[in-house]
Amino acid sequence: MDVSAIIFDCDGVLVDSVTLGDQALVNVLTEWAAPEQIMPLLHQYPGRKLQELFRMLEEQLEIKLPSTIEAAYRAESQRLFDSHLQPIPQVGQLLAQMKCPLAVASKAPLN
């Protein structure tokens, strides 16, 4: 089979950002709920848009999150990514062996 190009998702495919993103959510939500309440809910809603996830968490945890929660989450995610983000093991070697054009697609914000 000839492959003319490959488009990779970024989060969880090229970099191990999913765990850090979950940790950022736990960190910003601990004012309203315990981590052991939050983590199981995050696993129920993978790949959701952030605002949708916040609405679902509000319903499930019976809490009201402030309008600043997204900004707090983005700042905490960036802090964790800056200090802990790593590529998925051996992804660099895989990409180096690819002989076709490569691209990355992600619904994450650019910054």
**CA 6 to CA 19: how far, in whole Å?**
25
Least confident of 29-33, 44-48, 81-85, 92-96: 44-48
Residue 106 confidence (pLDDT) = 83
Distances (CA, A) of 20 to 24, 56, 79, 97: 6, 20, 10, 28
**The pLDDT of residue 89:** 93
CB 21 within 8 A of CB 77: yes
- Cα–Cα distance measured from residue 40 to residue 74, given in angstroms and rounded to the nearest whole number: 21
List of residues 6+ apart from 29 with CB closer than 8 A: 38, 57, 65, 69
- Can you tell me the distance from the alpha carbon of 56 to that of 41, in angstroms, rounded to the nearest whole number? 9
- Mean per-residue pLDDT of the chain: 89
Query: For 37-87, how does the pLDDT look when each residue is reduced to its tens digit (9 = 90+)?
Result: 888 888 777 777 889 989 999 998 899 999 999 999 999 999 999 999 999
pLDDT in the model for residue 43: 79
